[in-house]
Amino acid sequence: MYDFSNRLKHLREIGGLSQLDVANKIGSTKSTISRYENNLMTPTLDVAFNLAKTFSVTLDWLAGYGELNQFDDNIP
């Protein structure tokens, strides 16, 4: 199941980051992060890779594979 939006929001919240914080980390905008989190837009592979790298998770996990809390202890 594709669960990118929920997982991105989960990572952001447990990391204590705002949408603007995440946007700044990956060179995007707050509105774009909001669109990702609300399933209004799907990131390119490059953006998804940057998000996964930022949060120290795998692309597979970000896309919906594995347990939701699998990487919670690794979030910066």
pLDDT of residue 1: 44
- The low-confidence residues of the chain, meaning pLDDT below 70, are 1-2, 67-76
Q: Compute the distance between CA of residue 34 and CA of residue 23 in angstroms, rounded to an integer.
A: 10
Residue 11 neighbours by CB distance under 10 Å = 24
Q: Compute the distance between CA of residue 11 and CA of residue 4 in angstroms, rounded to an integer.
A: 10
pLDDT of residue 65: 83
H or E segment to which residue 63 belongs: helix 59-63
- pLDDT tens sequence across 50-59: 999 999 999 9
